Structure 1
Amino acid sequence: MNTLPAIKLGDSFLLPITVSDADLVPEDITAWTVRMQGRQGNATSALIHEFLFTKTSPGLGRGEFSAAAADSINWPVGSMLLDIEIITPSGRVHHTETFRLPVGAGVTR
């Protein structure tokens, strides 16, 4: 399982992504639904956060997930599990591999 760089409580979060096919050719995600949720413990645990997805260059498959500092301040310290769900206009649903986001408390407050 891959792990993202750690975030501290009260930090802004930004994760840019590119959606591509098996040959690494970017997909046009203009009409696609792209979501990411964070949960602590396991996939059936309570939802911690539903991340905002912004399509930055949809024709090139580019977008970014974000969370404001005001959101992350209330996240539990520990390891958050994440995956990305992609739904095509035809209704096909795909999920990425599950990955971790370490969440810690800051020293400077």
Structure 2
Amino acid sequence: MDQLSDFKRGDTFSITCTWKENGIPASTAGLTIRSQIRNPRSMALVSDLVVTHANQTTHPGVFTLTPLSADTAAWPTGNMIGDIEISKDGVTRSTRTFLVPIQKGVTE
């Protein structure tokens, strides 16, 4: 399972991704992209992630995922899980599940 860098709750959470077709960055136009972070023990939703597409002319395939609410101070600590679901032309595929290690910050 892939793992993101350690994240301290209360910090700004953001993941930048690149959609590729045959190994080449391709426009996200026409794609439906969804993502969530969940607690693996209970499958409780930690956050829906909002998709922001970069300028697809200058940065093809690039999109950023951020939480629905920017305030991450109440996120649980521990290893949460997430994935990205992408639908195109009636076909839906999901990425491998990835770990989101959330730690309590020292300075709060």
Q: CA deviation at 1:41?
A: 1.5
Shift of 1:77: 0.6
Residue of 52, 57, 69 corresponding to 1:54 = 52
Q: 1:48 to 1:80 in 2, by over 3 A?
A: same
Query: Residue 54 of structure 2: SS of its match in structure 1?
Result: strand
Q: Which runs of 4+ in 1 moved over 3 A?
A: none
Distance in structure 2 (CA, Å) of the matches to 1:46 and 1:91: 28
- Provide Cα deviations, 1:27-80, integer angstroms capped at 9, x if missing partner: 2211211111011125x712111011100133511110113541x111111111
Instruction: Please give the alpha-carbon distance, in whole angstroms, between the structure 2 residues aligned to 1:53 and 1:26.
Output: 17
CA RMSD, 1 decimal: 1.5
Number of the residue aligned with 2:79: 79
Identity of aligned residues (%): 31
1:8 aligns with 2:2: no
Counterparts of 1:103 and 1:69 in 2: how far apart (Å)?
Answer: 15
Matched positions, count: 105
TM-score with structure 1 setting the length: 0.88
Amino acid across the alignment from 1:41: P
- Stretches of structure 2 that go unaligned for 5 or more consecutive residues are none
Please show how residues 30-41 of structure 1 align to structure 2 within 5 Å. Answer: 30-41=29-40
Distance of 2:48 and 2:98 partners within structure 1 = 15
Higher fraction of helix: 1
TM-score by length of structure 2 reads: 0.88
